């Protein structure tokens, strides 16, 4: 629920437009969470070579029965704990009207703790028609518009008004469809997006997976069109591979702007914005405290 501050908008905790330039990070030597750097590179190269209309890459999910959705119990944890638990092993699934399923592994999140968190939509326990989902049971989807045209997707956690913003995904299945959905919102003649660019931002992932405004207040544990599932072939992200850094676009919120509550997988190419200073600290063993 963050963005770069704009004078025209009083709420500064919303994500900047998807076409904003993303910091580039090419060092993948530390990516040891769930695939080797070589395998991940080959995966992106393979999927990016697929033209629209061709058979899509489905290496990750040959049998959907082996990937059950996460139930209500998974979401019943603190906001920061949930934001970290999403990383690496949890996959967001979107079933389209024609039966096509789009999948992306969560690689970046932000935690918003509710009433005490002055950068949250629910700061001070404020309840509105817009943020109602934040006060509903854990696992409720909170979708809100930014700048009048883009959307961001959050998931409620334990804690009054607490929710986790989904910032970036690693595309796993349905890349041709994702590319078409993203292209529909871009200028005519724009270059074709690489796979790693399809979902590397909150609004981008909503476009790529066709997450509409009407998904607000739905339950991820029971919804037939969107859910989360665990990949049984992947190990959870190790703590030393999760980078904890300040959230984006909340600079006006004083001490709350410094809270290291944006989490991402170190070295992953699909992260929206890499904090190079924090990565240097992690490399030297000086990990930021939560």
Whole-angstrom distance, CA of residue 188 vs CA of residue 74: 42
| 197-226 confidence digits (pLDDT tens) | 999 999 999 999 999 999 999 999 999 999
Half-sphere exposure of 248 (CA within 13 A, CB side): 25
Q: What tokens does 265 get?
A: 């997988």
Strand partners, 262: 110, 245
Instruction: Please tell me the predicted confidence (pLDDT) of residue 65.
Output: 55
pLDDT confidence of 31, banded at 50, 70, 90?
Answer: very low
Instruction: Please tell me the predicted confidence (pLDDT) of residue 286.
Output: 54
> What integer is the mean pLDDT of 239-263?
91
Read off the DSSP letter of residue 79.
H
The enclosing H or E element of 202 equals: helix 202-208
Residue of 235, 233, 165, 240 lying closest to 203 (CA atoms): 165
In the chain, the percentage of residues whose pLDDT exceeds 70 is 75
Instruction: Please tell me the predicted confidence (pLDDT) of residue 121.
Output: 95
Residue of 158, 162, 151 lying closest to 72 (CA atoms): 158
Instruction: Please tell me the predicted confidence (pLDDT) of residue 288.
Output: 46
pLDDT confidence of 285, banded at 50, 70, 90?
Answer: low
Q: What tokens does 115 get?
A: 């009433």
Question: Nearest 5 degrees, angle CA 233-CA 140-CA 211?
Answer: 75
Most confident of 48-52, 91-95, 187-191: 91-95
Whole-angstrom distance, CA of residue 175 vs CA of residue 155: 23
* pLDDT over 60 at 12, yes or no: no
Weakest-pLDDT range from 58-62, 89-93, 284-288: 58-62
Q: What tokens does 55 get?
A: 């058979």
DSSP annotation string for 108-132: EEEEE-STT-TTSTTGGG---TTTG
Binning the chain into helix, strand and coil, the percentages to the nearest 5 are 25, 20, 55
Compare 50 and 215 and report the one with higher pLDDT.
215
* pLDDT over 60 at 117, yes or no: yes
> What integer is the mean pLDDT of 93-119?
96
Mean pLDDT over each residue of the chain, to the nearest integer: 81
> What integer is the mean pLDDT of 261-282?
91
Per the CB < 8 A criterion, the answer to whether 259 and 247 are in contact is yes
* pLDDT over 70 at 37, yes or no: no
- All residues at 6 or more sequence positions from 273 whose CB lies less than 8 Å from its CB, including other chains: 22, 23, 248
Instruction: Please tell me the predicted confidence (pLDDT) of residue 201.
Output: 97
Q: Is 90 helix (H, G, I), strand (E, B) or coil?
A: strand
Strand partners, 91: 105, 229
Q: Where are the beta strands (DSSP E) in the chain?
A: 90-95, 101-112, 141-146, 150-156, 163-173, 226-230, 242-245, 262-265
Whole-angstrom distance, CA of residue 140 vs CA of residue 133: 6
| 158-199 confidence digits (pLDDT tens) | 999 999 999 999 999 999 999 999 999 888 888 989 999 999
Half-sphere exposure of 197 (CA within 13 A, CB side): 18
Q: What tokens does 99 get?
A: 């039966």
* pLDDT over 80 at 34, yes or no: no
For tokens 């998931």, the residue is 155
Longest dimension (CA), the chain: 51
Instruction: Please tell me the predicted confidence (pLDDT) of residue 283.
Output: 72
pLDDT confidence of 19, banded at 50, 70, 90?
Answer: very low
Instruction: Please tell me the predicted confidence (pLDDT) of residue 240.
Output: 82
Instruction: Please tell me the predicted confidence (pLDDT) of residue 40.
Output: 52
Instruction: Please tell me the predicted confidence (pLDDT) of residue 207.
Output: 97
Whole-angstrom CA distances from 130 to 59, 112, 126, 143 are 39, 16, 11, 9
Instruction: Please tell me the predicted confidence (pLDDT) of residue 85.
Output: 96
* pLDDT over 60 at 108, yes or no: yes
Per the CB < 8 A criterion, the answer to whether 250 and 119 are in contact is yes
> What integer is the mean pLDDT of 32-58?
45
């Amino acid at each position: 629920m963050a963005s770069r501050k704009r004078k025209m908008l009083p709420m500064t905790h919303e994500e900047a437009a998807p076409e904003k330039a993303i910091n580039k990070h090419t060092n993948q030597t530390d990516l040891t969470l769930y695939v080797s750097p070589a395998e991940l590179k080959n995966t992106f190269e393979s999927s990016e070579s697929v033209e629209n209309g061709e058979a899509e890459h489905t290496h990750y999910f040959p049998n959907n029965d082996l990937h059950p959705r996460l139930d209500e119990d998974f979401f019943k944890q603190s906001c920061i704990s949930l934001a970290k638990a999403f990383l690496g092993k949890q996959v967001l699934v979107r079933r389209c009207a024609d039966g096509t399923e789009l999948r992306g592994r969560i690689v970046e999140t932000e935690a918003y703790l509710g009433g005490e968190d002055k950068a949250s939509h629910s700061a001070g326990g404020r309840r509105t028609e817009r943020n109602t989902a934040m006060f509903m049971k854990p696992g409720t989807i909170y979708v809100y518009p930014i700048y009048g045209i883009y959307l961001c997707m959050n998931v409620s956690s334990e804690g009054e008004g607490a929710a986790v913003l989904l910032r970036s995904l690693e595309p796993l299945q349905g890349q041709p469809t994702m590319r078409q959905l993203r292209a529909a919102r871009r200028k005519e003649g724009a270059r074709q997006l690489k796979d790693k660019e399809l979902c590397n931002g909150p609004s981008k992932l909503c476009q790529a997976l066709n997450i509409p405004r009407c998904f607000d207040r739905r339950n991820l544990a029971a919804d037939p069109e969107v859910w989360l599932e665990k990949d049984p072939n992947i190990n959870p992200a190790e703590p030393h591979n999760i980078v904890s850094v300040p959230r984006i676009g909340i600079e006006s919120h004083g001490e709350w702007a410094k809270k290291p509550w944006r989490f991402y997988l170190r070295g992953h190419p699909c992260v929206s914005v890499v904090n190079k200073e924090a990565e240097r600290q992690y490399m030297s063993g000086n990990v930021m405290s939560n």
